[in-house]
Structure 1
Amino acid sequence: MTDFTGKTALVTGSVQGIGLAIAQSLAGAGARIAVHGLAGDAQIEEACALLKAAGAPQAEFFQGDLRDPDRIDDLMTAVAAWGGVDILVNNAGIQHTAPLAQMPVATWDTILAVNLSAAFHTMRAALPGMAERGYGRVVNIASVQGLVASVNKAPYVAAKHGLIGLSKVAALEYAAQGDRTVGGVTVNCICPGWTQTAIIEPQIAERLPAFDGDRDAVIADLLKEKQPSRRVSDPAEFGALVVWLCSPLAHNLTGASIPVDGGWTAQ
């Protein structure tokens, strides 16, 4: 049920972190991977090599500035010509922390563009083809910040809340497409809590002086505030979840926002 041979997956932000881990899991199930992200030639080559080693019959890099709708259209057109998008994972995201009154307007605009509007543009391009084929999966990587809020993260929280709402609308509009055998078309969100990725590094760095440079102590301090399990997630865990969500077995799971947060949002 997790054989994606003949399927093409586009994972935005897949040159590192959660995106790369998701791409590796999909590659391991036989999917062709359209790689995307901000990286130099060496990192791109390394990511594509990792994905082929994981089992992808093909892994090719596609450019696309997610701040620019025209460049997103170019990205989606190029991937469509390469074989179409059967699985779309909107993973790319950026964050900047500052009090609301001090948040630069340009930063607000950029975070909303990358974390929310880009998903609208990719879904708008991909979903009609999925409906025609009777199978399609959109997995949007939201955040616990799409379910609850934190101070100093106004654009990030707004974007992730919006992404969950956008996903619910798309899930409803495409819920009746396809059937159980083929798999149908589903749209879901995954909402990570604290995860060992580059996006948390600025928050770790900010607290390091207070803990005499003890990185483990800083992470423990971050976790105890929000995440009852006091364990960070590993990016590979999200890869396994995406593979299951993309299987035909998950044909009736749509419009959901799945927290992987050690109990954060259960409080």
Structure 2
Amino acid sequence: MLLNGTIECGGYVLPLKDTVEFSLTGTTIAATAQLEAPYVLTEGEDTVASFAGYVQTAVYLGTEEGSVRMRAARELPTESKEAIEAVEANLSALTTRVTTTEATATEAKETAEGAAASASPSVRAASVLYVNASTTLTNSQLGDVRDLIEDFVQGAEYEKGAIRKYDGKFWRMAQKITSTTSQTYLPGTGTESLYTLIDLAADGIRVWHAPTDATNSFALGEKAHHPGEDGPVYVSKRDGNTSEPGTDQWWVLAE
């Protein structure tokens, strides 16, 4: 196949909604960056796929020698761009609240209910796009946007830090996940080096599991159920908390 009639394309994947990633050969990053939209794949005289309304967002070296990857995403209308900016602002404000000891469940609940009440379809669509493209979403923030997280898809590529839902639980990519990796290895027991479990109870609060690294330790002010999702709620008294609730001074029972 040829991309825009000039560059050899070995295939493409759709790692996120309204996002496409091409695997290219016989080209350079500089030459690929010069490609102009729309992006059209052809084979002989046949059009295989066309991505009108997409803009180039990234060009980088592929994992295979001599390959280049190009990512493009559908350009958002002004309303959706403004909605994403609003979501970013809300998440930033939420982070400030949940990382202070004065944060309460009532405040978080009111914030979530207020956002839901005012959300239009375009705002929700923009929120879904933003949340699922994020690689910096904290474990504390996840509890409030968990309904927006998309399912893990076999054969898709994911950036390190992205979060997806699989088998009823949430998983953070512990490293960049290629399409081959996601097709072969699924989140769960035995693949902890690829996917880090974020176990949320029904109320959106994490269930305590012994942290394995910095990405699943507990932040100052973060809450956790222990033992199990039906256990009482504890509040972390420090950042990077790896100790077990109830065993030292770094956890206190929530009031």
Please tell me the TM-score bracket, short chain as reference.
under 0.3
Task: Tell which has more relative contact order, 1 or 2 (C-alpha 8 A, sep 6+).
Answer: 1
Greater share of residues in helix: 1
Greater share of residues in strand: 2
Greater C-alpha radius of gyration:
2
TM, length-normalised to structure 1: 0.24
TM, length-normalised to structure 2: 0.25
